Structure 1
Amino acid sequence: MKQLPEGYRALVLGSSGTLGSAWMQALEAEPRCAAVQGLSRRSQPPLVLEDESTLRTAAEALRAAGPFALIVDACGALSLDGRGPEKRLDDLDPHALARCFEVNAIGRALVLKHFIPLLPRQGRSVFAVLSARVGSIGDNRAGGWYGYRAAKAAGNMLLQTAAIECTRSRPEAVFAALQPGTVPSALSAPFLAGYPTTAAELAVQGLMQALDALPAQRGAWFIDARGQTIPW
């Protein structure tokens, strides 16, 4: 991350997951990064998206260690409570839909609420969230995956709206929704048949390079690991 200041501090939310762990490893090996902090359900303090008090407590606990010039939100879930993505309208269940939104959209909104204030007000900074190409309305050609698609699209809108607000006070901050590609993980394992995959380490390397090349703008970017933009 050559565009961030020398000796910057980084924070990874969802650090125990496949991609979150890869972000931690990459940043620990990054010479310009002075320190990287990870939060997850198992960290101390813990981070539980469905419990706002844990997000508030974690953000307050980290305030003295900041500011963080790079914050990566690697939280999210494809399958919840034993239910995977719906393939047909007949599969829709209101409780499953609500749970998907609770984690992937409402959880993201609360992360933005509590952790954007940990960015520096001056100088370049980056707030990146893991999204998914299936959350693109403009790129939806296959259908299916109703709840996950809709929740990711909602999460993207929440990021975009927060970015517009926050770049007024942090004009050099870069906000981005990231499509890492299909990464082998416990989350994706049941859905990999027939799809090319990318190792988590390679996906993170590509995303770091892509983020480094982005200029600040009013609003957020939606990009993949090659730095190509994705329609919202």
Structure 2
Amino acid sequence: MPSSRALVIGASGGVGAAMAAELEQRGSEVTGLSRREDGLDLTDEASIAKAIGALQHPFDLVFVATGALTSTRAAPEKSLADLGSDELIAQIRLNALGPALVLKHLKPHIPRKKRSVFAALSARVGSIGDNGLGGWYSYRTSKAALNSLLHGAAVELSRTHKQAVFACLHPGTVETAFTEGYDHDKVSPETAAAKLIDVIEALTPAQSGGFYDYAGREIPW
């Protein structure tokens, strides 16, 4: 059954907008927050606290669809010679710390006595075990950090929210501005959203803290 009340963070982006539309089509009441529409800045904890503090009710599903491939440069690093602290720190702030702070401030809105899901967009390139190509240092590291943060939160919150599910999800390569210029087989945001929601609806508390792709397959850390 679809979640009856959902919150999509990053609802104005390609995947976020498609997730909101698909959830509404499946019967959910959807609240969307984004930088473009609401001034939500995931690199600023005060902005996160303000936006979430204005929410009035618990959510059965929270989906964080934010992220960026680069922050201070035009393309990901190809080698160690390209690595610098500005890009790495900026990527971790946006792609890892931002979603974790969303969860921090949303904790009072997570139901304690029924199933709920908190999911965030990760990426297969954040898998250390699956990394056979190298490069993309800052983006890979930020997604690995996101996976670690949400896994740790899942362990902690399982003690008080026994039916809650926390998950990092890889959507595949989605055809958005995010992936423009990269030569991969791509799916539409609508297709990605439908597959991700199918995965979300099938996850159980026993799978909380895991890292899964758009088909529900577990990805190695």
Is the pair's TM-score, using the shorter chain for normalization, greater than 0.5?
A: yes
Tell me how far apart the structure 2 counterparts of residues 181 and 104 of structure 1 sit (CA, whole Å). Answer: 17
Determine the structure 2 residue equivalent to 1:172: 163
Give, in whole Å, the separation in 2 of the partners of 1:218 and 1:225: 15
Task: Assess, with a 3 A threshold, how the Cα gap between structure 1 residues 197 and 57 changes in structure 2: closer, same or farther.
Answer: same
Q: Does 1:27 align with 2:20?
A: no
Q: State the Cα distance separating 1:9 from its structure 2 match.
A: 0.8
Tell me the SS of whatever aligns to 1:42: helix
Among 100, 105, 114, which residue is 1:109 paired with? 100
5+ long unaligned stretches in structure 2 = none
Query: CA 1:226/1:218 → structure 2, altered by over 3 Å: closer, same or farther?
Result: closer
Residue in 1 that maps onto 2:11: 15
Deviations 1:110-135 (A, max 9, x none): 11211233111111111110000000
- Conserved in 1, the CA contact under 8 Å of 2:73 and 2:87? no
- TM-score relative to the length of structure 1: 0.91
What is residue 99 of structure 1 aligned with on the other side? 90
1:6-51: CA deviation from partner (whole Å, max 9, x where unpaired): xx210000111100010111011112x1x1000001233x310111
Instruction: Tell me the percent identity.
Output: 47
Q: Distance in 2 between matches of 1:3 and 1:22?
A: 15
Q: List 4+ stretches of structure 1 deviating above 6 A.
A: none
Structure 1 residues 176-202: Cα deviation after superposition (integer angstroms, max 9, x where no partner) = 1000000011111022x1x11111111
Please tell me the residue identity of whatever aligns with 2:88.
L
Tell me the number of residue pairs that the alignment of Structure 1 and Structure 2 aligns: 221
Name the counterpart of 1:68.
Answer: 59
Over the aligned positions, Cα root-mean-square deviation in angstroms equals: 1.3
* Structure 1 contact 116–127 (Cα < 8 Å) conserved: no
| Corresponding residue to 2:34 among 32, 37, 40 | 40
Q: Deviations over 1:137-159 (max 9, x none)?
A: 11111111000001100010000
Which among 28, 53, 72 is matched to residue 46 of structure 2? Answer: 53
Counterpart contact for 2:126–2:143, Cα < 8 Å: yes
For residue 3 of structure 1, report the CA deviation from its aligned partner.
Answer: 6.3
Residue type matched to 1:26 in 2?
Answer: E
Q: Kindly state the Cα deviation for residue 219 of structure 1 after the two structures are TM-superposed.
A: 4.2
Structure 1 residue 59 displacement after superposition: 1.0
The more displaced of 8-17 and 103-112 is: 103-112
Q: Please point out which of 114, 134, 143 is paired with 2:134.
A: 143
TM-score by length of 2: 0.96
**Contact preservation (8 Å) 1:10, 1:37:** yes
Structure 2: distance between partners of 1:19 and 1:84: 21
What CA distance in whole angstroms lies between the structure 1 residues aligned with 2:74 and 2:218?
31
